[in-house]
Structure 1
Amino acid sequence: MAENRIILSTTVNEIRVALVENGELREFFVERADIERMVGNIYKGRVVSIHSGLQAAFVNICAEKAAFLPLSRVQEEIDFDEEEEFSSASERLPIESGNEILVQVIKDPLGNKGPRVTTDISIPGKFLVLTPMRNKVAVSRKISDRKERERLKKIVRKNKPKDKGFIIRTAAEGKETDDFKTDIKNLLRLWSRIKKRALKKEKKNVPALIHKDAELIIRLMRDLFTEKIDEVIVDSKDSYKKVHGYVSLLTPLMVNKVKLYRGNPPIFKTYKIQDEIDKILNRRVKLKSGGHIIIESTEALAAIDVNSGKSSADTVPEELAITTNLEAAEEIAKQLRLRDLGGIIVVDFIDMEKEVSKNKVLSIFKKAMRNDRARYKVFEISNLGLMEMTRKRVSPGVSQTFFNICPACGGKGKVLSQTHLSLKIIRGLESNVKNLKDRNLTIYGNPAFIDYFTEEFSETLTYFSRKYRISIHLVKDNEVAVDALTIFDNEKLKDITKTILG
């Protein structure tokens, strides 16, 4: 029975893809018509400003906000070994305001930030990545065998143009010369088309999209469909044709693994994937030992808290701590891939006194992370039980795809308490009482708050109104957030919310 599958489900305006390894959901991808993906796209843009303090330029590429282009090479942890140090394309190019430059998006816009771009173009193929701005050969660090690395480098060097660079992907392990020749030919042909399109774009037509990265189905067949996959199951005839055509062209010996699903129940229900998808939308993940982890994502970082769930005491016995932490380490590695969490990630393990316990947990975590395709770096567990790491997202991630910022709390996850808001009204009225005598005011609030305020503070409000001769009317308004108010002066026909509440 097949244990490693790629399952593809197509519905109106949405494509969902699940990667199943050893019978378990490991990665999940969604592409929707209403979510524009820019990563991988190549634009001919115009530099609008240069900031020497940031060592960066801002480039107009027709996005809502100008793209951010670093001008100095940041030493990042990368997934491949370079033969020698060399400058990035942005260091070599003299960039000035008004320049027209070719850039590629490496990070989608997020929140108030525009897309991040680079002049160091890279075009992925099945086994290689073409880096036309470089003239070096690099190999994925996940290919660990030294002899194999050297064999692959030798093949690529022999068949590549002298002025072009290539990165040998993990999927290239064990491949022969003909596989690379096909990939090199296809990638060079694509790069030639991109250059021609860029040259044809006149000044009046810049900024402009020059090359759009492949759609989700093709990207995942390119990146995920290896010999380790037993079958690819597709529930749409149109998607099946695309997958079948792509695989027939690049890896024809694997085309028999592509199958069309003809069942009546939804494909994700048949393969018991939907329940697993629903679980990744929860912040709390249960552990078999009785403990649990809590995952909280913010704009700055993702925080993961490990709890034993079996002890209410301030300290947890070392044996229970390490048992829970070991299980949590494997589950966290799984959740990072499933949710595609990125950026800075801090894991708060249960405190362990022994150094050997910390090392064991760290070792298990690193082992569990080996199959993660994303670029990541893991640091030691501190004396406080904190493990810090960085991880680069592969996709927009669960948070961006499935959730909108709450209109009530603005993404904080909390709103002002009804008591605090009530007292804030009273204090605001008292501090402005001289200007409010003999006035007629209306307070508009969320129905839940108005009910609470009427019940808990009616006597205070009546006393206040009589003492200072202020007429106050309370009006329920479903359009008002649960922790917000609008206070209106009916005589001056003026909104005085800011005056009263500050």
Structure 2
Amino acid sequence: MSEEILINVSPVETRVALVENGVVQELYIERSHGKGYVGNIYKGKVVRVLPGMQAAFVDIGLGRTGFIHVADMIPEPPEGESRRHDLPDIRTLVRDGQTLLVQVAKDPIGTKGARLTTHLTLSSRYLVYMPNSLHIGVSTRIDDEQERERLRQGVETAAQASGVSGGFIVRTVAEGVDTDSIVADIPFLQKLWADLSAKQPTVDAPAVIHEDMPLYLRALRDLARAPLEKIRVDSRLSWKQMRDFAANYYPQLVELIECYTDGRPLLDLYGVEEEIRRALDTRVPLKSNGYLIIEQTEAMTTVDVNTGAFVGHRNLEETIFKTNLEAASAIARQLRLRNLGGIIVLDFIDMQDPEHQRQVLRTLEKALEKDHAKTRITGVSELGLIEMARKRTRESLGQMMCEPCPVCHGRGQVKSAETVCYEIFREILREARTYNNEKFLVLASAVVVDRLLDEEAAYVADLEAFIGRTIEFQVETLFTQEQYDIVLV
């Protein structure tokens, strides 16, 4: 498997695409006027404590107050232990007007403010530093127990030798890396935390204490891993900054960073621009001629699998099984590509054979192993559904790039011309009983007026006879299909 990272930088927007074997797997977009806040640390001010919700609203200077739950204010439980259920009363921890050092765990999404935590973390290439914890942990994605113990012991020994207080988590990318390279991150994180600690008393809340790096540098820190072949960036200034950053922290990446100067737009390589366009569609075609229907709502995302034109070669059960297997891999890729999070319900085509169900579920789990976001999957339910949750820290691709339709206001459908005509008839009857005017002038869209003058012409004549007044029609080009106005003349 080969990987490339493509980075398109412009004054208004930075876009990063992770490409595996010529296929786009992940997309990240950061705009200059609406950067993500995840990872930023703020000195906030508590503006309201909600005892009934065991939460508080904190002003961090973003216009909308952030939200913090009591569970995000108490110490993390030791590894292997679950969080206790007898949480303390939040009023014993914070009060209105109190200042609080918090970090953004989730970006503002929709009408919701940022999700905050006091469990501060600072990330480097191989380590995550937790200044308020004493825990030394290893990423759960590293399965080899011997390797996990090697990493834990190496970091613990180095932390004790350097006298640093706080805890660490060894990131997945550290698997197989020599201990000296990993522990070299400790002095950097220690100095960064010292600088933040010194800055905090000098500013008034609300204020930003620490901002995460720009997207093109975060791509080096978070996405660059073996078997990465190349990192292409189409901005010479960003290319220089990336090389300088890599030289200081990740020297093995310096030679992989290439300044792209070809006349063809960078994201046209591997069809990335086309993938972005398709990632906004609800329908996703499969190679077998089946397809997925992906619909995102505020509460959850649903994925429906259909065989489409695929008829198979042997029998119905085999056709369904092959379609579901292909769909499982495609779903995992679409979740990463679109950055869909929260509750996700997968409606695979019903399978009678338990072995087929097990293989489809295993294929889905294996495909999700590459996902940077944390996922959790249930088994196949009695209704043939698979429920899963994917950690959501930022807006999905659709939420970032699109807005609700001004015509249907996000419903995804509009009233038919026939329905609007009948609404007009009812409104005319209502007005005729109230006012003694000479005639009615109906202003509506062209498609509605055409129907009133054609299919509904007979009913219009009957209505005129019933109310004893004339009805005239006029096309209003600015009206949508659902809009109309009735003028009394």
TM-score (norm 1): 0.88
The CA RMSD over aligned residues, in Å, is 2.8
Q: Which residue of 1 aligns with 2:174?
A: 172
User: Quick one: structure 1 residues 439 and 162, their matched pair in 2 at CA, closer, same or farther if it must change by over 3 Å?
Assistant: farther
Q: Which has the higher contact order (CA 8 A, sep 6+)?
A: 2
Q: Distance in 2 between matches of 1:380 and 1:60?
A: 41
Partner SS state of residue 149, structure 1: helix
What's the CA shift for 1:389? 0.3
* Residues 321 and 356, structure 2, Cα contact 8 Å, conserved in 1: yes
* Cα pair distance change 1:85/1:326, threshold 3 Å: closer
Cα displacement (A) at 1:391: 0.5
Pairwise CA distance, 1:127: 0.7
Go from structure 1 to structure 2 and tell me whether the alpha carbon gap of 1:83 and 1:320 turns closer, same or farther (over 3 Å shift).
closer
Q: Distance in 2 between matches of 1:400 and 1:37?
A: 13
Q: Which residue of structure 1 aligns with residue 228 of structure 2?
A: 229
Q: 1:125 to 1:439 in 2, by over 3 A?
A: farther
Matches of 1:261 and 1:33, distance apart in 2? 22
The residue that corresponds to 1:339 in the other structure is: 338
Offset at residue 459 of structure 1 (A): 4.3
- Residue matched to 2:208: 209
Query: How far apart, in 2, do the equivalents of 1:90 and 1:370 lie?
Result: 38
Q: Deviations over 1:229-278 (max 9, x none)?
A: 11111121011112111111111133111111221211222444333333
Rounded Cα–Cα distance in structure 2 between residues aligned with 1:134 and 1:89: 19
CA contact (8 A) 1:286 1:292 kept: yes
2:286 match: 287
Q: Deviations over 1:283-337 (max 9, x none)?
A: 222222221111111111111111112479xxx8211111111111111111111
Aligned residues: 480
1:217, 1:371 → 2: CA distance?
21
Which whole-Å CA distance do the structure 2 matches of 1:83 and 1:353 have between them?
37
Task: After TM superposition, list the pairs within 5 Å mapping 1:226-375 onto structure 2.
Answer: 226-310=225-309, 317-375=316-374
Task: Tell me how far apart the structure 1 counterparts of residues 440 and 46 of structure 2 sit (CA, whole Å).
Answer: 53
- Listed as ranges, the matches of 1:411-430 within 5 Å are 411-430=410-429
* Contact 1:89-1:119 within 8 A present in 2 as well: no
**Alignment map for 1:8-157 (pairs within 5 Å):** 8-72=7-71, 82=79, 94-157=93-156
In structure 1, give the amino acid aligned to 2:201.
L
1:138 offset after TM fit, Å?
1.4
Secondary structure of 1:230 counterpart: strand
| Amino acid aligned to 1:345 | I
Give 4+ residue runs of structure 1 displaced > 6 Å after superposition: 86-93
Q: Do the aligned partners of 1:73 and 1:91 also contact (CA within 8 Å) in 2? A: no
Q: Contact 1:83–1:136 (CA<8 Å) still a contact in 2?
A: no
Q: In structure 2, how many angstroms separate the alpha carbons of the residues matched to 1:48 and 1:220?
A: 35
The answer on whether the counterparts of 1:108 and 1:114 sit within 8 Å (CA) in structure 2 is yes
Which sections of structure 2, spanning at least 5 residues, go unmatched? none
When structure 1 is superposed on structure 2, of 56-65 and 478-487 the one drifting more is 478-487
- The corresponding residue for 1:192 is 194
**What is the SS of the residue equivalent to 1:104?**
strand
Closer/same/farther in 2, CA of residues 319 and 416 from structure 1, 3 Å limit:
same
Cα shift at 1:370: 1.0
Structure 2: distance between partners of 1:92 and 1:137: 30
Q: Cα deviation per residue 1:107-143 (whole Å; 9 max; x = unaligned)?
A: 1222222221112111211111111121111110111
Deviation at 1:352, TM superposition (A): 0.7
- Structure 1 unaligned spans of 5+: 491-502
Tell me if the contact between 2:54 and 2:89 (Cα under 8 Å) persists in the aligned partners.
Answer: no
